[in-house]
Amino acid sequence: MSGKDTYKDLLKTGNLKSTKHRNALLETLEQSGLPLTAEELFLRLKEKNVSISLSTVYRILETLVDKGFVIRSQLATGNKALYELSHKDHHHHLHCVRCRQIFPVDGCPLEDYEQLLADRFGFTVTGHNLEVFGYCEKCKDHKQDG
């Protein structure tokens, strides 16, 4: 499940060289399953004894976003960007405002809406971002707390 060249073919489709940094970063994103910040990735790579510069993490992420292999998102409140693999099906996340946990939710409620926008406004939709805030099951009872 974990090799140096696991993502060689994927990278090749983007005309990108297969480097240990790119493979390790992609593997880390895959193992996470949840979106991570550049710094979180940097730290997880360190734990795996992958020596890498934070600049390189950012550079690799930028490249992978350009190629469409990675999705970048940014919370309205948060200051750091989040990155996750895009090879999974399109989906969204629930953000618990108390414990900060992120819950992925399969599927998307916006397909009909995008068609409506095309019909009514002549707007050709190419993508969207949706983030939902609230209290997760464990935190809903503490809704009043600080």
Question: What residues line the site for Mn ion (CB under 5 A)?
Answer: 108
Q: Centre a 10 Å sphere on the Cβ of residue 32 and count the other Cβ atoms it contains.
A: 15
| Both structure tokens of 5 | 């060249």
| CA 89 distance to own-chain centroid | 12
Q: Is 16 within 8 Å of 28 (Cβ atoms)?
A: no
72 strand-pairing partners:
83
CB 101, min distance to Zn ion, A? 5
Residue 105, contacted partner among a copy of itself, DNA, Zn ion, none, CB below 5-8 A by kind: a copy of itself
Residue 99, contacted partner among Mn ion, Zn ion, a copy of itself, none, CB below 5-8 A by kind: Zn ion
96 makes contact with Zn ion (CB under 5 A)? yes
- Angle at alpha carbon of residue 83, lines to 3 and 86, rounded to 5°: 70
Interface region with Zn ion, contact rule CB under 5 A, candidates 2-10, 42-50, 65-73, 133-141: 133-141
135 makes contact with a copy of itself (CB under 8 A)? yes
**Which of 66, 111 has the CB closer to Mn ion?**
111
| Both structure tokens of 103 | 């819950």
Per-residue binder mask for a copy of itself (CB under 8 A), 34-73, x = binder: --------------------------------------xx
Residue 135 CA to residue 101 CA, distance in Å, equals 10
In this structure, which amino acid lies at residue 62?
E
Residue 97 CA to residue 133 CA, distance in Å, equals 6
1 makes contact with a copy of itself (CB under 8 A)? no
Give residues in contact with a copy of itself (CB under 8 A).
72-77, 81, 94, 96-97, 103, 105, 109-110, 112-114, 116-117, 121-137, 140, 143
